[in-house]
Amino acid sequence: MTVARQVGVVVFPGSNCDRDTYNAFGSVLHQKVKFLWHKDTSLDGVDVVVLPGGFSYGDYLRSGAIARFSPIMNEVKKFADRGGIVLGICNGFQVLVEAGILPGALVKNENLKFVCRHVYIRVENTETPFTSQMKKGQVLKVPIAHGDGNFYADDDTLKRLQDNDEIVFRYSTSAGETTRTANPNGSLDNIAGVVNRRRNVLGMMPHPERASEQILGSASGVMVLKSVIESLN
Amino acid sequence: MFKARIEVTLKAKILDPQGKAIESSLHNLGFLNVSRVRTGKNIELFVEVATLDDAVSAVRLACEKLLANPVTEEYESELFSADGISLARFSSRDKSPRSAEKAE
């Protein structure tokens, strides 16, 4: 890694993984990180935007439904339209689908439970800025912590995601088998993360920032963040 | 001034785990003839516009932009006068649903 990049972490009222994300990009990957407040009307020249996990606006109405109308989201949308790299983690993913920046929806987990544990996800597409440092089929161990992570899309959208290789991560066993029992929330086709067609916006329910150091139980998630930084160099 | 009552429900194709949990609870209580329990949200609001048409368009827009997610949900609404007389009913099924802002 040559030049330190400027990462912007958006803070909504109710975000709670903003500091984890800050730590992973800052202390672990030695990048410059700044928080962007949801009321800001400028991204302040950042190279990457992260929408972190949490419970923006208390998940009122639907997860992410209110946050998508925050002033900063206009700028995030423009940034994404210009090809800027946007990573939405957990609640950040929910905000991106509510905003229509990513397809589909995240509905209540099939088993109705809030699921908080480490899961395995298989890398399906390495031709994205978020997975460039990985191998296709590689399995990452990352935690999930959500009640509304059940990915849904109508049949046409799902087919488009499959045909265009927009599914980046699928829930799997540690051996990389995408079985039904490896699916923690009922997501269609074991989908854990998707990109837009241009591949500059990724939404994923698992938390790579919470798997950024061995002391946290796994360091394999940091590969996602590292890939993002490398893709800018 | 009009009052709107809006009911937002999951589309029939979408699994409603809350409905399923309620259903199994009802079965445990002995209501064995109960089936197909579905849940939803009820939203009430007042809208200050001159005509009923304006009220219908305002509420419809609010439903489509925020109150219901067109990917997973449907809505039905009933409008009332300030003194509670029912004036109009409409739903997301009245016309072809708004094409969701498609992500590229």
Mean pLDDT confidence for A26-45: 97
pLDDT of residue B95: 65
What digits encode the pLDDT tens for the residues B35-89?
Answer: 999 999 999 999 999 999 999 999 999 999 999 999 999 999 999 998 999 999 9
Chain A residues whose CB is inside 8 A of the B102 CB are 100, 103
Domain spans, chain B: 2-91
The model's confidence at residue B100, banded by pLDDT at 50, 70 and 90, is very low
Mutant choice from B69, B75, B99, B102 vs A, greatest count of A C-beta within 10 A: B69
Give residue for tokens 């439970």: A113
Of A75, A98, A166, A209, the active-site residue reads A209
Q: How far is A130 from A133, CA to CA, in rounded Å?
A: 8
User: Cβ B104–A196 below 8 Å, yes or no?
Assistant: yes
What are the structural domains, with CATH classification, of chain A? 6-232 (3.40.50.880)
Chain A residues whose CB is inside 8 A of the B41 CB are 61
β-partners of residue A32 are A6
A17 counts as catalytic: no
pLDDT of residue A186: 96
Q: CATH number of B2-91: 3.30.70.1890, 3.40.50.300, 3.30.1280.10, 3.40.630.10?
A: 3.30.1280.10
Give residue for tokens 């259903």: B23
ipTM: 0.86
DSSP state string for B59-89: HHHHIIIIIS-TTTEEEEEEEEETT--EEEE
User: Cβ A153–B103 below 8 Å, yes or no?
Assistant: no
Chain B residues whose CB is inside 8 A of the A187 CB are none
